[in-house]
Amino acid sequence: MPPVSPARRANPPGPTVLFRPECVASMLEARGTVAGRLTQPDTGAFVPGMAYAIRIHRHGGPDCLVREEVSVSEPGPGEARVRQRAIGVNFIDIYQRTGLYPLALPAVLGQEAAGVVEAVGSGVTEIAVGDRVAYAGLTGGYTDVRTLPAERLVKLPMGIDDEIAAAIMLKGMTAEYLLRRTHRVSPGEAIVFHAAAGGVGQIACQWARALGATVIGTVGSPEKLDVARRHGCDHVLLTDASLPARVRELTGGAGADVVYDSVGRDTFEASLDCLRPRGLLVSFGNASGPVPAFLPLVLTTKGSLFLTRPSLVHYVAARADLVASAEALFAVIRAGHVRIDVGRRFPLAEAARAHAELESRRTTGPTILLP
Ligand code: NDP
């Protein structure tokens, strides 16, 4: 049995066991760690049923992220316990931290990770103990070990290592559905992709180019121009007032067939102005804030435009769609059409620093956390 600390006696284990932050430091001192994991002081063995996690108890800035000890349940029917080796950081983690997308609190942040299956519950057929797996879209990823529904896990093939997997599951499956299902990008089309040097942007722009589109990427600062050029963009533009005119120049006056806009409030109007008549605006994020209310008549006056506001969750809800999306993603990476350059790596304990970097636009490509 692991030693029972005073904090544990005061907070008996359960699915959402809480440790008061002031108790955590002394618990960590008493227990020792190996690579950031809880270990028993006498044997050095991992403490069963416990994990380190990064949680929030209130919405706010990066300082809300606190490292705490949480309990991990044994896998029940249809569940698997995964020892996580790398964890993806996504802009949605920031929306959830700030409360733009509210969560029931306290909450462990994080949506995607890769690791190894340690145990499975009854009735699990999709995966087995020892499999390398990854997932996206399951809140609670900022931890070293967790129990999850097995049907949301995808087996990782050779050639997709843990860090790459943690960097691509959410961002890459997003690129997959945006380019192949929200709209089927075809050879000869011109697309505009905002935040082209970012996590989703680098994957999507390379993939769109492989599909035969002319890719016009946008970036927020001159130092990102080259990064976007090296990741699939035929042309890279700064997101300033001249954007619609520049896009028209590059498309022979026609305008783009599709604009993919994850920046939101700051670029929405300009994105509409970049489109050809009957073009499609895919508004899929709010990095600068949510798009304010507007009159649908605006779509008519700007050329009978189409607008959609999709989310990955609805494109991978069925297991068959999840697996197909992941396999398409692994295939473009293994074929060399999409190169994954992990931009920044932080220890899990430094998740707050990763958030500060991502939201202040200082990162390029995917950011990961290492437990
Ligand atoms: P990124 O690495 O792309 O980072 C966000 C980028 O947005 C920044 O680097 C920055 O690029 C740009 N940006 C523009 N304005 C701002 C601003 N005011 N504050 C911060 N960033 C700004 O993040 P991700 O790859 O994690 O996600 C990209 C987008 O995709 C996010 O908006 C996310 O919500 C969305 N998304 C949507 C999904 C869906 O299914 N709907 C699923 C996954 C992601 P620059 O400086 O070059 O302008």
Residue 91, domain member (yes or no): yes
Could you say which residues of the chain have pLDDT below 50?
1-37, 41, 44
Here the tokens at position 298 are 């605006």
Number of CB atoms found within 10 A of residue 363's CB: 17
Residue 181, domain member (yes or no): no
Domain match, 266 and 289 both? yes
Domain match, 128 and 16 both? yes
pLDDT of amino acid 42: 54
Residue 182, domain member (yes or no): no
Domain match, 73 and 215 both? no
Beta carbon of 291 within 6 Å of any ligand 1 atom: no
Selection from 136, 133, 142 nearest residue 174 by Cα: 136
Domain of 129, in residue numbers: 6-169+317-370
Distance CA 120, CA 151 (A): 11
Q: What is the DSSP letter of 349?
A: G
Here the tokens at position 169 are 């599951």
pLDDT of amino acid 49: 84
Q: How far is the CA of 96 from the centre of ligand 1 (A)?
A: 14
Beta carbon of 312 within 6 Å of any ligand 1 atom: yes
Give the number of the atom of ligand 1 that is nearest the alpha carbon of residue 200. 25
Distance CA 58, CA 99 (A): 9
Whose alpha carbon is nearest atom 36 of ligand 1? 285
**Helices 351-359, 91-98: crossing angle, 10 deg rounding:** 100
Which residues lie closer than 8 Å to 7 by C-beta, 6 or more apart?
A: 19, 20, 23, 24, 26, 27
Domain match, 221 and 325 both? no
What CATH number did the domain enclosing 86 receive? 3.90.180.10
**Number of compact structural domains in the chain:** 2
Collapsing DSSP to helix, strand or coil, 87 comes out as strand
pLDDT of amino acid 23: 31
Residue 247, domain member (yes or no): yes
pLDDT of amino acid 162: 98
Q: What is the DSSP letter of 39?
A: B
Q: How far is the CA of 195 from the centre of ligand 1 (A)?
A: 6
Beta carbon of 200 within 6 Å of any ligand 1 atom: yes
Beta carbon of 198 within 6 Å of any ligand 1 atom: yes
Domain match, 38 and 89 both? yes
Whose alpha carbon is nearest atom 28 of ligand 1? 200
Which residues lie closer than 8 Å to 365 by C-beta, 6 or more apart?
A: 167, 197, 198, 199, 202, 227, 231, 340, 341, 342, 343, 344
Task: Cis check for the bond before 187: say yes or no (omega within 30 of 0).
Answer: no
Beta strand pairing status for 367-370 and 344-347? parallel
Residue 1, domain member (yes or no): no
Q: How far is the CA of 268 from the centre of ligand 1 (A)?
A: 14
Domain match, 154 and 243 both? no
202 neighbors 93 (Cβ within 8 angstroms) = no
Domain match, 298 and 239 both? yes
What tens digit of pLDDT does each residue of 197-251 get? 999 999 999 999 999 999 999 999 999 999 999 999 999 999 999 999 999 999 9
Give the number of the atom of ligand 1 that is nearest the alpha carbon of residue 170. 43
Distance CA 353, CA 345 (A): 11
Beta carbon of 79 within 6 Å of any ligand 1 atom: no
Give the number of the atom of ligand 1 that is nearest the alpha carbon of residue 174. 42
pLDDT of amino acid 137: 97
Q: Which helix (H) or strand (E) holds 323?
A: helix 319-334
